[in-house]
């Protein structure tokens, strides 16, 4: 049974020409426009719209413009720019809301939409439900989309918008120690939203930058999810240029992966752990992370005498909890660093700033700093599913009856030896994700084999 794409707190994503086209984009943008008109300043008509570099982005942009015009709202196009930049700009430039045209880390055949409230935060569950309800009730007449052949939209030089984001990060990190180090940095922004702004930012910090895949062409040079197996070339770039560190981003530049000075691509889980270690060394605070994030962060937080709170998957869920508990930092183990002082959203540029600050402060190479972090073996897998999720969970609960069980999001099993397994459907793909961690390779392999056998059992 194929899972149909749906609007979630992570937005709407679909394969272009199959689950997403101009008409679907128009309907969702129209429903969002009507929703924000029910909230906030009735005299404010400005909606900021940005996108990643996917080639279908301009087609969607025209549909979004038509939807906003239909609702008497004014689109301010901020260009090809990171998702976190748009969130920050909505807040800083007093937008009524924002729309980001991106499919984030999904493969190149996808595109999508993310919706932003006037707070500069993504829509949460109740707002998502309101958008869906409005869309469901659109009449056939209201759903009609005709491309405006006279549309004057064109690509822009968005330096003024990029500079706002960069300036905000520089206010909240200690730039002088980084400037003094003159770090050599390799960068792979995958020919997308991070391509100009990240190099600008690194140069502001006095870094010598070696960029691969630095155009905003939307031609992804490798699979876009920033994980170890997709990032071979950036490791070679680090070695070739004797860089101190390397960074890789996903297409909308909200996720970040670190490459050490030996050219080794680190697990994306280390990104958040390094950022948390730095932030808590300056200001102790509780933190929030999602249910699939490594226990490394838990151990780091406990070493500072603070608490960790776990949430459902989805950036909006983590942010909501961070604001509730007044956490300075939090995020997701997929390379998503959230530093509230800059803006409460996943932000690869902020992650870069925090990690370079840590590097300058510790005066040790990346490999040594990582060596001192808590050690776990994490395994991640994904499988298509064609059966009832309730049945899957029931079978797993019977298999893992010796574990403590958390059903906040899918089902997570925890054992007293600090191993754990989390099984849940993806918010963005028709798959089940399996993520787990243990102190030894043998233990995590045993747990994963049991999950696979349970899922395969008829």
Spatial distance between the Cα atoms of 273 and 149, rounded to a whole number of angstroms: 49
pLDDT for residue 387 is more than 80: no
CA distances from 261 to 45, 179, 247, 368 (A): 48, 19, 11, 10
Beta strands in 202-265 (DSSP E): 208-211, 245-249, 256-259
Strand 110-117, strand 377-384: pairing:
unpaired
What confidence score (pLDDT) does residue 458 get? 57
pLDDT for residue 76 is more than 60: yes
Please say whether the beta carbons of 82 and 165 come within 8 A.
Answer: yes
In the predicted model, what is the mean pLDDT of residues 73-78? 97
User: Burial letters for 377-398: b for 16+ Cβ neighbours within 10 Å, e otherwise?
Assistant: bbebeeeebeeeeeebbebbee
Phi, psi for residue 233 in degrees, rounded to 5: -70, -30
Tens-digit pLDDT profile for residues 94-127: 999 999 999 999 999 999 999 999 999 999 999 9
Domain 12-156 sits in CATH at 3.40.120.10
Confidence of residue 428 (pLDDT cuts 50, 70, 90): low
* Local structure of 213: helix, strand or coil: coil
Please say whether the beta carbons of 65 and 75 come within 8 A.
Answer: yes
In the predicted model, what is the mean pLDDT of residues 265-288? 97
Do the domains at 162-371 and 377-456 have one common CATH topology? no
Residue with tokens 């530093």: 339
Domain boundaries, the chain: 12-156, 162-371, 377-456
| CATH (one of 3.40.120.10, 3.10.270.10, 1.10.10.60, 3.30.70.270) for 162-371 | 3.40.120.10
Spatial distance between the Cα atoms of 255 and 346, rounded to a whole number of angstroms: 7
104 catalytic per annotation: yes
Active site residue: 104, 267, 292, 294, which one?
Answer: 104
DSSP annotation of 438 reads: E
- Cα of first residue to Cα of last residue in the chain, in angstroms, is 15
What is the chain's mean pLDDT, rounded? Answer: 95
pLDDT for residue 1 is more than 60: no
| CATH (one of 3.30.310.50, 3.10.100.10, 3.40.50.40, 3.40.50.20) for 377-456 | 3.30.310.50
Entry pTM: 0.95
Residue with tokens 């909200």: 254
């Amino acid at each position: 049974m194929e899972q149909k794409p749906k609007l979630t707190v992570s937005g709407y994503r679909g394969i272009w020409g199959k689950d997403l086209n101009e008409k679907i984009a128009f309907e969702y943008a129209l429903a969002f426009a009507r929703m924000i008109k029910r909230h906030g300043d009735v005299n404010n008509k400005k909606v900021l719209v940005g996108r990643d570099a996917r080639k279908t982005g301009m087609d969607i942009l025209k549909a979004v413009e038509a939807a906003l015009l239909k609702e008497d709202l004014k689109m301010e196009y901020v260009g090809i720019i990171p998702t976190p930049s748009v969130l920050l700009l909505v807040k800083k430039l007093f937008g009524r809301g924002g729309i980001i045209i991106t499919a984030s880390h999904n493969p190149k055949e996808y595109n999508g939409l993310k919706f932003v409230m006037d707070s500069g935060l993504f829509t949460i569950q109740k707002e998502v439900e309101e958008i869906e309800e409005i869309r469901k009730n659109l009449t056939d007449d209201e759903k009609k989309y005709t491309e405006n052949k006279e549309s004057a939209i064109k690509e822009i030089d968005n330096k003024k918008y990029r500079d706002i984001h960069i300036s905000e990060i520089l206010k909240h990190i200690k730039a002088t120690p980084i400037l003094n180090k003159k770090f050599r940095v390799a960068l792979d922004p995958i020919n997308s939203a991070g391509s100009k702004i990240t190099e600008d930012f690194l140069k502001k910090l006095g870094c010598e930058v070696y960029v691969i895949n630095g155009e905003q062409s939307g031609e992804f040079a490798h699979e876009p999810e920033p994980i170890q197996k997709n990032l071979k070339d950036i490791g070679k770039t680090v070695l070739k240029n004797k860089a101190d560190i390397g960074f890789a981003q996903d297409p909308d530049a909200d996720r970040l992966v670190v490459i050490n000075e030996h050219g080794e691509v680190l697990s994306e889980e280390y990104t958040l752990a390094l950022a948390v270690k730095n932030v808590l060394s300056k200001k102790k605070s509780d933190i929030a992370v999602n249910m699939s994030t490594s226990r490394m962060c838990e151990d780091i937080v406990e070493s500072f005498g603070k608490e960790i709170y776990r949430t459902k998957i989805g950036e909006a869920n983590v942010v909501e909890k961070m604001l509730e508990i007044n956490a300075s930092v939090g995020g997701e183990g997929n390379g998503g660093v959230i530093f509230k002082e800059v803006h409460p959203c996943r932000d690869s540029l902020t992650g870069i700033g925090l990690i370079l600050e840590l590097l300058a402060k510790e005066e040790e190479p990346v490999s040594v700093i990582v060596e001192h972090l808590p050690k776990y073996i994490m395994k991640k897998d994904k499988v298509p599913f064609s059966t009832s999720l309730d049945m899957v969970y029931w079978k797993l609960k019977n298999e893992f009856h010796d574990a403590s069980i958390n059903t906040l999001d899918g089902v997570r099993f925890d054992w007293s030896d600090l191993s754990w397994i989390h099984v849940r459907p993806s918010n963005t793909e028709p798959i089940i994700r399996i993520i787990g961690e243990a102190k030894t390779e043998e233990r995590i392999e045993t747990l994963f084999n049991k999950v696979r056998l349970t899922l395969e059992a008829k």
